Amino acid sequence: MFKDTPPKKVILIATQQIGDVLLSTPLLKSMRTAWPNAIIDVLVYRNTSSILMGNPDCNNIIESDNHPSLGAYLKLIKTLFRKYDLAVTTQGNDRAHQYAFIAGKKRIGLIPNLKKKHWWKKLSCLRWSLLDEENTHTVVQNLHLADLMGIERQYALTPTKADSSDAITHLNEQLRFNLTEIPYTIIHPMPMWHYKQWTDSGWIALIEHAINLGHHVIITGGPAIAEQNYALQLTKHFVGNETGFVTSLAGKTSFAEMSTLLNHAAAYVGPDTATTHLAAACGTPTLAIFGPTNPVKWAPWPMGYHESKSPWQRYSPEYQMVSNVLLLQGRGECVPCHKAGCDDNNNSYSQCLDTLEAKRVIQAFRRLIKVDIEVVPVR
């Protein structure tokens, strides 16, 4: 497409949730590898921009509010208007395509479906690809756009990056031990939505087991008060434990510091959430606990996996393991249902996760860290 005259200015539009932005970094890397001298900017929502900190493939991060006011929208239009030779959108929604039309002289993007109402998106794009929500992993879906640009695919995700020495110093001060010297497991128990959440008793049993293996346990979470309170609630079960320690860092680390923490961890365990994707991208041995979500589309992308098909099957009654990621799903004939839990809303319960036994998770955890599979009884 730009074989003879590479674009000088490109914008990638990734106005999505934070995990989706991380999954777009292989496409960003593909563009940087193909066009090393181009200015490549990324448009993201303000609350997701931190996942791109330290990314060497991005020149500038342009932030937008999720629902901008008229004044903010007009200011953004002025910032973008016809500044780019090429605009690429990883979203098929109207707003993303409007941004692409405003910003780029040429446009490439995803189209949600072939319904008539999307005619203008097809007309606007020089080339487009149809969005597949069931059978194509998000990383591969984004890389279809690299194919349309005629550039080579790069499959590796790019985690956030902080100054390593400063991050370690700050983390050591909070943990009160040297994270490069003591083995620890990171537990990230609380996802954004309730329907992705495992049980309290399950997390307690897993933490106790990790402690019995000689691991310090670090509980992580976002800045939301509910996440911080939940992490503290879990730590209270282990106050005065003589065999190990449990520390909460929920709400106390940036994504860049989280990458540093993950780089030195013995293991990470978490549900379907952005931090689980980050753990996989960092190469950390990662146990991902999934329920209603379709893993073919959304499971973490394993480090070193460079194939055009999804690394995951829709369902396994036991577990799936690829590279550094072990995927464990709750059981049920409806798994994965592709819904937001049994009641199909973000605050719903999910029977497949509510009935997921701690024993299964502990077995998976031991397999992940290469300990014999015999399980210590759960109290």
The length of the chain in residues reads 379
Extract the tokens encoding 76: 């953004």
At residue 325 the predicted structure's pLDDT band, cuts being 50, 70 and 90, is very high
pTM for the full predicted model:
0.93
pLDDT for the residue numbered 373: 53
Q: What one-letter code names the amino acid at 19?
A: G
| Whole-angstrom distance, CA of residue 187 vs CA of residue 182 | 16
pLDDT for the residue numbered 25: 98
Instruction: Provide CATH code, domain 164-368.
Output: 3.40.50.2000
For 336-378, the pLDDT digits (tens) are 999 999 999 999 999 999 999 999 999 999 999 988 655 444 4
Average predicted confidence (pLDDT) for the chain: 92
Task: Enumerate the β-bridge partners of residue 216.
Answer: 184
pLDDT for the residue numbered 378: 42
pLDDT for the residue numbered 113: 87
Q: Name the phi and psi angles at 190, rounded to 5.
A: -115, 110
pLDDT for the residue numbered 243: 47
Residue ranges of alpha helices (H) inside the chain are 18-23, 25-34, 70-80, 94-103, 119-124, 138-149, 164-175, 200-212, 225-235, 255-263, 274-281, 295-298, 351-354, 358-368
At residue 238 the predicted structure's pLDDT band, cuts being 50, 70 and 90, is confident
Residue spans in the chain of domains classed CATH 3.40.50.2000:
9-149, 164-368
110 alpha-carbon distance from chain centroid: 20
Mean pLDDT of 129-154: 96
For 16-26, the pLDDT digits (tens) are 999 999 999 99
Pick from 175, 135, 160, 189: which is nearest to 50 by CA?
160
Pick from 129, 159, 151, 124: which is nearest to 142 by CA?
129
For 50-86, the pLDDT digits (tens) are 999 999 999 999 999 988 899 998 999 999 999 999 9
Residue 248 has pLDDT above 70, yes or no: yes
| Whole-angstrom distance, CA of residue 18 vs CA of residue 6 | 29
Instruction: Provide CATH code, domain 9-149.
Output: 3.40.50.2000
Starting at the earlier edge strand, list the strands of the sheet with 39-45: 60-64, 39-45, 9-13, 84-89, 104-111, 127-130
pLDDT for the residue numbered 86: 97
Range from 3-7, 71-75, 160-164 carrying the lowest mean pLDDT: 160-164
